Amino acid sequence: MHSALVKHLLGSTDEAAAIVLCARIEKPRVKLLAQKLIPVPHAACTQAPDFIQWPGALIEDALEQAEEGDLSLVLIHSHPGGYFDFSAMDDASDAEVMPAIFAARSREKVGRMLHGSAIMVPGGVIRARLYDRSMAPTPVELTAVYGEDISLFWNPHVEGLKTDTRPLAFTSDMSAELGLLSACFVGASGTGSIAVEQAARLGFGEVILIDFDLTEDKNLNRILNSTQSDAEKCVPKIDVLADAIARHHPKTVVKRIRASINCREAVELAAAADFLFCCVDSEEGRSICDKLASAMVMPLIDVGVTIPVARGLDQKMAIFDVLGRIDYVQPGGSSLADRKVFTPQSLAAEDLAKRAPQQHEDQVKAGYMPGLLEEAPSVISVNMRAASAAVQEFIARTYPYRLDGNNRYARTVFSLAAMDEDFTDEDAFPCHENGLLGMGLAEPLLGLINWANSPKELP
């Protein structure tokens, strides 16, 4: 969508315009999620290098499209000369158009409605502002574009940031920017605790933790900062990580919920984040994270560790590989489902194993369904490698440094048995139409009918 905007708005030396329809997340902070792009035809406009006029009927058509989904409109136009601010003419236009947009909406919706205007300058950088019914403009702090690279366009007046150039990876400027961003981690055990530790020490301003489990003796060999006392007291894993962050990086705000991600309250909490890390060992958990990332227009990094075991010729059990996998999923690109990280069969097998373990075992033996991949429970050295690669994938996307770009690394798989790494580029995966993209918190939540209007629940 951003590429299409750049092509349409910056294809000539004259100003051009478009409308972006956006879903909204309103708590704990406002986020607009681009859902649909409506280019304003050049032939319908009066254009000049510093002026554009276009028919109001196009806004009326966009309002009709937005009404059903209760969407917000953002009117965006180009400043091909590079002026990175709203002009007096822009202010006058908004003063006329925005009240008309609000007046066109049904009265019960106006009180909670937001609409906006934006400018784009050469290079594709965007600056935006929002209006509510008070008609006072509120600057948008951050416009984010999630593709092969993660592009962050900050309002120039954000304190503590150098907004004229992008920070270099591994610098104090990177840390300063991370201090204004939020990362959500689903899973707080083997790879999750290690990824969370890195995120906090890198300087993320907010870390969201989602996990339902309690600390036990068997966890102490792989959960960072966990202690024997935590196991004896059955302290929730998220509390172990939150307490550790408070000790070594108290500036980081930690939000947490002791729940499975398969829970309305957990999804609503995760939706507030800028980035999503999936560190679970369940098919269902990955499936929910996949849907969540699409609906909330979030980049997703999914990490998994497996150690396949089989009988050798001597009938003894033997390890035949030690594998780590990191998938980077960009909104609108191939999903985890497209990449067969989970399948309908694996989801059904996991569900059956929960509901009827003996029946599941019988069907696996009979060959009617595949067995589940079992995550190795005591392999902190492998978990360290995989979790580090997952966090490093985020850094490489946000502060690019790879010599041949990021497209090649939609998936990275390392084998410690072969001492090898394989990479798969985004174009190698199928990409099916995604009806959830940009839907936000619309009902039914994540397209799951059984969650529609259901009460919030915790395990």
Q: Please spell the DSSP secondary structure of 326-395, one letter per residue.
A: EEEE-TTS--TTTTTSS-HHHHHHHHHHHH-HHHHHHHHHHTSSPPPPPPPSS-HHHHHHHHHHHHHHHH
Q: Mean pLDDT across the stretch 415-444?
A: 94
Q: How many percent of the chain have pLDDT more than 90?
A: 77
Mean pLDDT on 111-137: 91
pTM of the model: 0.91
| Residue type at position 261 | I
- 201: helix, coil or strand? helix
Task: Provide the pLDDT confidence category of residue 205 given band limits of 50, 70 and 90.
Answer: very high
Q: For residue 285, what are its two tokens? A: 């958990």
pLDDT of residue 109: 54
For residue 229, give every residue at least 6 positions away whose Cβ sits within 8 Å of its Cβ, in sequence order, or none: 235
* pLDDT at position 316 over 80: no
pLDDT confidence bin for 166, thresholds 50/70/90 = very high
Report which listed range, 101-110, 180-189, 366-375, is most confident: 180-189
Which residues, in sequence order, are bridge partners of residue 130?
Answer: 116, 138
Q: Give residue 361's pLDDT.
A: 58
Which pLDDT score, from 0 to 100, does residue 375 have?
40
pLDDT of the residue at 372: 40
pLDDT score for 348: 86
Q: What is the pLDDT of residues 15-45, one digit of tens each?
A: 999 999 999 998 888 999 999 999 999 999 9
3-state per-residue secondary structure call for 223-284: CCCCCHHHHHCCCEHHHHHHHHHHHHCCCCEEEEECCCCCCHHHHHHHCCCCEEEECCCCHH
Q: Please tell me the predicted confidence (pLDDT) of residue 113.
A: 79
| List of residues 6+ apart from 168 with CB closer than 8 A | 174, 399
pLDDT tens digits along 279-306: 998 999 999 999 999 999 999 999 999 8
Distances (CA, A) of 165 to 129, 173, 363: 21, 10, 58
The tokens of 109 are what?
A: 């919706």
Q: In the prediction, which pLDDT does 309 show?
A: 77
Report which of 222, 369, 361, 370 is spatially closest to residue 308, judged by C-alpha positions. 370
Q: What is the mean pLDDT of residues 381-407?
A: 96
Are 234 and 425 in contact by the 8 Å Cβ rule? The answer is no
Position 48 confidence tier, pLDDT thresholds 50, 70, 90: very high
Mean pLDDT, the chain, as a whole number? 90
Structure tokens at 244: 């550790």
pLDDT given at position 293: 97
Radius of gyration of the chain (CA): 24
Q: What is the DSSP string of 44-68?
A: GSEEETTEEE--THHHHHHHHHHHH
Position 431 pLDDT exceeds 90: yes
What are the structure tokens assigned to 147, written together? 């593709």
Which pLDDT does position 110 carry in this prediction? Answer: 45
Give the integer Cα–Cα distance in Å for 63 and 76.
15
Look at residue 371 and tell me whether its pLDDT is greater than 50: no
